[in-house]
Every structure is written in C-alpha cells, then in structure tokens.
Structure 1
Amino acid sequence: RRQRALLWAVLLTAWEAAWGQLRYSVPEEMPKGSFVGDVAKDLGLQLPALKDREAHVFDTGRTRYFFLDLQNGHLSMMEQVDREEICAAVAKCVLNFEILVKRPMNIYKGEVEIMDINDNPPSFPERRNVLEISENTAPGAGFPLERAHDPDIGVNSLQNYECSESSYFTLDVKTGDDGVKYPELLLVKSLDREQKAAHHLILRATDNGSPVKSGSTTIEIIVLDGNDNAPEFTQSVYKVTVKEDVAVGSRVLQVTATDRDEGPNAEVKYSFFQIPEKIDKTFKVDPESGEIVIRQNLNFEEHEFYELVVQARDAGGLSSHSKVLIKVVDVNNYVPEIVIMSIFTPVPEDTPVGTVIAIFSVQDRDSGANGEVQCSISDSHPFRLEKSFDNYYRVVTAELLDREQVSEYNVTVRAADGGSPALQSSAVLALRVLDVNDNAPVFAEERYSARLAENNAAGALVLTVKATDNDEGTNAEITYSFSDIAKSIREVFTLDPRTGEVKVTGPLDYEERKYYEVSVEGKDGGGLTAHAKVHIDIIDVNDHAPTL
C-alpha cells in the first residue's frame, strides 16, 4: 500500500509538469513521411517511455496529417499538404494536434504552421474578355476588369497588374476593403468608332514570389455607336449586414441605376460583373428590379464578408458599376461538441485525491459569445472539473473512493455556449471503481461450539465456520485453516479450506480427553486475515462394562 501511494505521488507530479505547447513549421507540399519535429526531445521524454505509455497523436480535424514514430520520437507528415486546399486565403495556416500518453495520463498540445510556397501563378477565369464602350463616353470614365486569382499568400500572392500600352486607355489598380487589388481601365482619350471600331489590350497579373509567376488575359474593347448617357447608380457603394441564418430567397438589398436617355437606351438591366462562381451561387440579382436575394444558405464560419460588383447596362450597350459589400453576422447555430480523448477506468478505489480520470476537449464553431463554452459536471459525484488550457478539460478525483459503497459512476459532462438562447450538449463518462484489498474477512461468530459423542465415525461433520469479506474477486475469496494446533488435534479433526467444514478424522475417546479448543484462521486472496475460536465438547457414551 505504501509503494502504491508513492507511485500515485510520482504520477500526480508528472501530470502537473506535463502540460505544454509544441510549435513547428513546415513548407507545404512536403512528401509523405517528411520530418516535422523531434517530439521526444522537445518534451523531454525518454524513447522507451513513449512506447510503454502508448503515445499517439490526435489531429483536431477530420483528416490525419501527422504520425508519431515511437522508435525515434519524431513527428512526421502522414499526407502531403496543399496549404491552399486546407486553408484557402487564411493568412496563417495552422494545423493543431495533441499527443496523448498514458500511465500517467498526460496531454501535450501542438501546432504546425504550413508555410506557403509559390506553387500557383495568378490566373484569370477567362483568356479573352469583351468590353463594350460607347464612342460618346467621356475621358476619365472607369471600367472594372475581371480580376485574377492567386491562391498563394503574402509575396507569393497576386501583387500587381500591368496592361499593354494604349493611347486611349490606362490601367488603374485599386485596393478594395477586403485588401484585394482590383484592376480598372480608365479612358484617357475620346473614342471614335468610325476611326477605330475595336481595341485590343493584354492584361497581365504578377506575384512577387521567387521566381515571379504571372498570368494574362486578352481584353477586346468594342466601340459602340452613339448612346449619349450611361446608367448611373444612386450609390457608388452599397453596404448591408445580414444574419447567417437568413432564409434562402430573402431579399438582401436593392440597387438602383437611372439613365437620362429615352427609349431603349434608357432601359437598364442589372447583372453581377465578373464574380467568382461560388459567390454567383450564393446570391442572384434580378435583372429588372436590381434586387439581390439569397440563393443558398450562408455560413459565417466559412465566409463572413462578400464584395460584389453589380453592373447596370442600357440597351445601347453603355454600362456602369457599383460595389455591394455584404457583412455576414454570426448566429448561434452550432452546438458545442465534446470530444472524450482518454478515460482512466476502472479506477482503483485507493486512488489519491487529484488524480486525473479523464481528458476531453470541447469545440464550438460559432464565434464571439456564441462560441464561448462553459463546461460543468454534477456536484453529487466525488470528482471535479479542471480547465487545463484553451478548450481542454480534465476530470480529477475530489474525494477518496470506496468501491464497497459505490462501485460505478456515470459522470455527465455538460457544455453550454454563450449564445442566447444557449445551445448545450452532454457526454457521459462511465467509470467503474476497481477493488483493492482494504477489508479483512469477518467471521460470523467469534466463538463456535459443538457437542460430539465419542466413538463418532470418521468423516462426521462437527460444525462449519463461516467468514465474509466486503471486497470482490480474489480479494473476497477466503481460505480456512487451523492455526497453531497440536499434532494430536490434527489427527482427530480436519478443516476444509474452502467450505469451512470441521470433520472427524480420528477416534474420539471421552475417557482420554473431554474437550478440544482450537483457533481457526480465514485469509482472503490479498493476505488479510481473521480468527475465531472453536470449542468441541466430547460426550460420554456407555462403552465400558463395569470391572471388579
């Protein structure tokens, strides 16, 4: 028992020192099996201990990206990672993992930053774009161009646009509210359809990687015959905020443009101007009214801001453009998710207070207060909840356990977020208490008595001793024996070690001995003992004739 207590003290100390944070970084596209970090060295763990303690890696996502080699303690890539595929346009691409070890139960949190490499050139959705402009358009008019896309980040992403030289047009590169660069063609010289009906330009997009990568598209400008006035939007920028749970088909806002011409030249049609396919599937604009409506469910966690360009075009071919900025507001639509990472069961009943019984994490994909989670467990159990770091919790013993009183616990862990109303979830930890030999056998009587006639036949039952033990299993299995008795008694009585039956084995003679008193011992499988007395009186029978 003393050795067990010392062991628990060491385990508890190791647990307290175990919480830590590992940080590594690797370039994307590293081949499978590539080295990430020396986990054993960084955590100060001995190599044999990693295997003995069943160390293994938990990835927080659905895909496993890492594995831990227990022979050398190295964390390595399980799969080749494309940063653009897993993180899209996120500036810092981080994959989180946890390393769990047992005996004692510890968890180590880690993250691997996936560094961008310049593996993607800027590209345009179309290799050729057509732009129609009226010859009456005044110099200084601007015409948004379709922007290029580069999924890389930082200097490896799209950095600039260049346009082939023209005496009629120049290129203006603007930066939007989302930090993205937008190319716009400016008219610097009046057009004359009769003199030149079409213009051809090449728009080139470049990044700043090493080496520099680029992509290009051809712009064909068609000069239209006289249509004096282009449509004019009532606002150059429209802004609106919508909740992510807005119903499909709901109206977001309405854009309006007017045209001072008459007849067909004043008839305005609305459309989105060169927006990504994904956004085009999310919103649609009514060509007649300019109403923008929701086409599919929004998701704040995937896309919290949209920047659209709406085009108003009249029947004569003139057009103008306006921006629509849509901000999505988070609603509490995700229930907290409890992930049980490890559970220590059965729990020995002599487990010290403060021992870790289970480790779990809780996640909520909402943001702000909607994603802030509070966890709790019932106060009626001898356990308490401790928050370790971030969203990790551990369940520890708050009181000493006693299997003889309660042999099993179902501990309910509850998680509630900060939304209004709050969303909740729960998980049950089924814990079984393991018996230790903390109860000695107890005899039903301290003293057993029997009266037995002399000359009884061998094998006759004298009495039965009985002891019970509140432990279970081998700790409750009792073996009976005589303790410290003379050879003469062993020759006449026997004690069954399993049943406790005392039987006659030899001749009894009242005239030689009128009673016997012995001590019996009951020993359980754990070595604890109890003792009782047995007193046997011998009764005289008329087995001798008178003598003269």
Structure 2
Amino acid sequence: MRKLTLALFFAVYICSVAVHSRIRQKRTWIIDSFNIEEENPGPFPYLLGTIELDRKYLVNFRLHGSGVDKEPKEVLKINQRNGQIWVHKKVDYETFQLLQLTFEATNVSSDKVDTRLGVEVKILDINDHAPVFSPPHYQATMNESSAQGQVVETMNATDGDDSQTPNGTFSFNIISVTPKTDNVEFFLEPTGASITEIFFRGCLDYEKANTYTIVVEAKDHGDKVQLSSTSTVTMNITDKNNHLPEITGQTGPGRVKERESGVEVLRVQVADKDSPGSQAWKAKYTIHGDKEKYFQIETDPKTNEGVITVLKAMDYEEQTSRNVSLSVANEVPYFSCEITGRPAKRLWDVKTFNEGPGKSLPGFPKLYPVTIAVEDVNDPPEFVPPVRKVGIMENTKLGTHLCTLEAKDPDKTFASKFHFTKGEDVDNWITVDPETGEVFTAKVLDRESPLLKNSSYSVILYVVDNGEPPMTGTGTLIIQVGDLNDNLPILEVNTLGMCLLDKATMTNITAVDLDLPPYSSPFTYELLGDVKGKWNIDPTRGTTVHLVKEKTVYSGVHELQIKVSDNQGLSLTQNLSVTVCDCTSTPNCHLRRSSGAQVGSTAVSIMIFTFLLLLAIILMAFLISCKHEKKMIMTDDEPGWHLLESNIETLGTDCKVPAKITQVESIQTLKAKPNLISTHDGISKQEVIQQNHQQDYYDSTFQKEQLLKRSLQRNSTRRSYRSCHSSMDQVKRNYSIYSVDEFQLRQNLLTQIDQNLFQLQAPGEELGDYEPHCYAYEGESMIDPQLDAISLPENDFNPNVLTNLEWQFNKLASICRPDLKS
C-alpha cells in the first residue's frame, strides 16, 4: 500500500509539472472518477467515495465546481479531514450528464495549497422517459380514388433518454385499426430513427368505411424496463364516383299543349349509391334525339331528379308526339378498383379503371327512352297574307273599297268561322266589315299627312275565331297612298334683306311643294307689278333661283308680288318683303327690322308686367289692412292676488237701433197713411230702391265683364270673345229677372224688422231711477266691547294694476273661458 501511495504521489507530481508547462489548459489530469445513477432515491446522504493523500502533516480537503458551488449546487460535499465525498440529493441525467470538480489539499499549519487534483462525476442514465409523439394526434384525408401505396401520414416521436443507449432508442408499431375491413390494410415504413410513414394497400371504399382510426405505438429498447406511448391517426375518406347513376323511373304528365313553352312536362328519378350531396352523387342529364331543341333537362339540386321543360312551342298539326332519349352521369369522372390478390409484405393485386376524355366504361352511358305527347288546342287564325299592301290615290272619296281580308285556320278539328276587327288605326282611316272582312275608307286620305311614312299608312288588324277559347290572329294592312297635285308651291321665307350698293345685287329665294314629282319642282318664278328696271329673277325656273336687285332701288322696305308655279302649272301668287339698307352700318337688314319689332314687343311686355305688379301691391296692402290682430294670452304662475272693486254700477241707458232714412220714412208713412206709397216723378220709392240695387249689381258685373274682356283680348281670339260677351249678356238678363223678385222679398222682411224695433223704443221711458226697496229689516248692529278691533293695514293696492295684466291673467281666463285658449 505504501508503494502504491508513493507511485501515486510521483505521478501527481509529474502531472503537476505538466500543468504548468502547458498553456491555456484548465486541467491535465484526473485523480479519480465517480458514477451517480440519476434519480437515485437515496436515502441521503450516502457515501460516493474517498480521496486519500499520503502526508506526514495534517491537511484539509476541499471541493469546488459543478455539484458543489456551481449548478447543480449542494449535490456533493467532502469531509475536510478524511476526504469522504457524500451525495445529498438527486441529479437528472437529461439536465447534467457530467459533474466536473476540483479537489484541493491545504496544509493545516501554513494554510497553503499542497495538492490540486481534478475529479469527474458521471451521471448514469436510467430509462425514465418514454417516446413522445409530436403532435399527439394526427388528421389525414384521402380520396376514395387514391391508388394503393400512397402515404397516409408521416409521424414523428422523440425520447428524452440518451439516444446512444437502448433507453433512448425506440421503434414504431400499429396497435389497432378501426374499423377492420377486408378491402384495405395499413402498414409502417420507418424513414429515420424517429420518423415513420403510414401506407395502405388495397382499395379504399367510402361506402364500407368513410373514416379509419389508426393507433400507432412508439416503444423504447430499455434493458430493465421498456417505456412506450401511442398516437392516433384519424384518416377521413372523401367520397368519389365509384358508383354509376341509374334511371329508375319517371313522374309527371309527359304531355304538353301545342304552342306552350316554359312548362315542366316530366321528372326522371335516378339512384346512386355515392354519398348524397357530393359531386359523385349529383346527376348530370343529357337529352338525345332532340335536333330542334324543343326540350331542356335540368337537375333538381334537392332530389337529384331530372326536370324536363319545354323550350320551344310545338305544333300538333306537325307532330302529335316527340320521342327522345336520356342519359345520366355524375359531375366527376367515374373510377373503379377491384382486388384480385393479397400477397404478403407487398402491395396487393388490384384492377382499376379511371374515366377520362375518350375513355368510358363499355356499355355506358345507357339510354332511357322518353315520349312527350302534344295536345291539340285551338290555334289562332292566320291572315293570308300576314302583311297585305293596297294602293289608293289620295283625295279618293269616302267609303272607297280597299280590299277584302282573307284568313285561314291551321286547326283541322275546330270550326273556322272568323270575325274581323281593327286593332290599331291611329287616324281612323278605314272601316272593316266584321263578317266579310271588306275594308273601306273612313275619310278622305291625304298623302301629305304626318302619320305616313314613305307614303304608306299601316293598320293592325285582328281576326278572331269561334273556338273554345276564342283565338285571335294579327295581320297588317299597308295602305300606299298615291300622290295628286293638290298642294301649291310656297316660298320658304317671305322676308329678305339686301344691301344698298352701287351695282346690282342678288339673293336666293326657294319654294317648296308638299307634292311629289312631277307635281312639285322645278318651279317657275314670275314677278308681278311695276318691277322693270328694279327687280328681276334669274333664272326663272328651278327650285332655288336668284332675286336680282338693280342699283336704282332705294333703301327701305319693298313689297313684291311673286307668282310661283309647279311643274304642272299650278301656281300661287305670294308677297315677298325685301328690306334694303346700308350694310356698312347694319350687316343684316333683316336683323335690324326684327330687332325693332322685338323692342316694341319688349316694351309692351314691360308695361303689362308693371301694371300687374302694381295691382299685386295694392291687393297685398288691402289684405294686410283687413287682417285681424290676434293676441296671445301669456301664462304666469303667480297672478298677483289682487281684486278689483265691483260696486261701480251707474244708471244704464236704453239702446237705440239706428234706422236708415228710407226705413224710418217708410215706417212713419205707414203709420200715417197705411195705403199710400210715396212717389217721385211717377216712380215709387220701392222701385227706386230696386233700381238702385240692380244698378249696383250691373256696375259690379260690368266691371268684371270689362276685366274679362281685357284678359280675353290678350289671350284669345275675337271669336271666343264674342262668345263670352254673348254669355255675359245672357247672365245679366237672367239675373235681372231673378233679382227683382228676390229683392222685393228681402225688402219686405227688413221693413217688418225695423218697424218692430222702432216700436220698442219708448221716448222718455228709458231705464229710469228707482227708489231703494227695503226687504227684511233686522235692526241695528250690536257692538261687543270684548272683541278687539281688527286693524287692517293700509291698502296700497292700485286698481290700475289689473288693467295691464295681459299674459298674467291667462290662468284664470282659461278656467272661466276655455274658448279663449284658441
């Protein structure tokens, strides 16, 4: 033992020298190494080992580094006297795999470091971590048409133990598959130490299983104990078209009335085993044998039925039924997968088919025959021809026969009795015999009518049969009106302006004729009157010619007469007003003349406007002066609590009704001479009163009549004014007869009322003075000396306060007189 100690000492010495000889090296040797098993349960503390040094003097032992004064702290401690190392708590391998320490031996007497050694403590890993999947749960989606051998999902797992030991290595395994079906099998293929992939072999079938739940286990290879964990893969299958649709029947009438379109005639039912609502289930229909495109078929999105509707109306007389064929497919291509063998440890033997362009399953699509019956109904009659043209000269006499309408009925089973009538005849040119269809003119036709287009007038005609229900056919009659020379040529303008020059000047004149050639242009122009040496036309024939003014013509307005004849010699003499002026001051003589006329009309308009404005101002002033002033009663919450003395009555006076002079005189006369009626110049006063009343009415009526006359003069013609004047005279005569009787009755009533009022007025016997009347006398009042006199303060109330309450009196007034609120 002694020899071992000395050898150890020399080895330590040599290493110590080496430490100082090497540069930037923390330690050069390790005196010893110890092992600690992670997660050792104790009991603590327990002895790890002892460091011994052979010295003849006393030394103290110290430890520094990981596990003592560095993380993980306070795991290890050393006995200063004997060098024993003790473990005080657990250490986790996944956190610390190695603890590096420094051992020092210090001389007790000199307190100098005698020896410095390195110590390593290895943490021994144990199998305390199971493999963990990341993520813990997987979701995968596969199409039903996916081929075998495709990756379903890639899975990943990790183990916290040392990957260099069996504790940190693991393997994958499929624990279970739910549900278990015979058409598919899942297997794993590792792609690394911690990654594996899931594959399938066989054929997926949505109808057998639309979801698979696969449980995969990851298990480590620990010596003493093996730890594991599981993860779940949920694989959802998307349904694809592996079942063909099949037409199972039809519903609906299967018939349509002729000339009917846009109606549903048939529904076709289909069966499909694919998932309802998916593209593999949705049907797509096609019609075969319908070259004329009479029908269309659409898919009902709720029931997946094929709905056949009529696009174009059919005719029973052409064909009584239509035969077509239907086929059905799905919105996505069809595929199939069939298992033929199941060899071990490799992909199975399968037979597949995928529909594509130019590639279809033999025997498909299947055709389903459909017959649509056409029902006969009453067809409308037809004009023969539908558009008929007739010619007639204008100005032909009324009632001229134009043509006889003809119609036919395309029906073979219905009656063919027709009734003709007009549809649209804008100017009522024709009449139609409803039974025979004969067409006659209803007025004298005019080719120059604005209703004609290219000398043609169109009339819409109807023909109605007597079927059930009655049907109506429509036709067009085009009346082509021939032209006659029934219009005279007229000048386009009747006023011209020309410049005053020292030489002859010219301007253009043009005539128009509503007739067509040869009854219109070219025209022949001729000046009438004394125009020699002053005016002439060059040339005299044409549509537009030159009016030549000689230099001898003076300035001013010249009225010329010009005769214009059409190509057939029909002529019209017209006036042409030519204004000649000095163009140096006025470029356009015609504009100067028009400007003067415009100024005159403007002045008249200003005068009329001024008069109307003045009348409106007077009327507004009259309305304002007659307006009643409305005073609003204002409110006040505090009335003031004042009372007005009411013992201010005085003697009253009798009211007298003022009588009119004529009424009083009439009353007095009746009293004196009841049977006498005073006269003046042979006319009674009553007649005078009646005449005065009538005269007032006549004056008022005459003023209104004069105002109406002035209005009519500005806005109407003389003929309408004479009619209104005659009406006013008739009104005046009617009122004159009525007013005498009415005035006589009114005057008699007023006379009786005034007479009664006059008799009530008794002169000298008005409201007189009356002596006081004593009723119940109760004696003198007694005074009790025991009662104190009630002293009333000075009353400083001013009665005038109540006269200016205004809005403060509203509350009391609203209670006493609710009608004042308005």
Query: Please, what TM-score do these two structures have when normalized by structure 1?
Result: 0.35
Larger radius of gyration: 2
Q: Which has the higher helix share?
A: 2
Structure with larger RCO (C-alpha < 8 A, sep 6+)? 1
Q: Which has the higher strand share?
A: 1
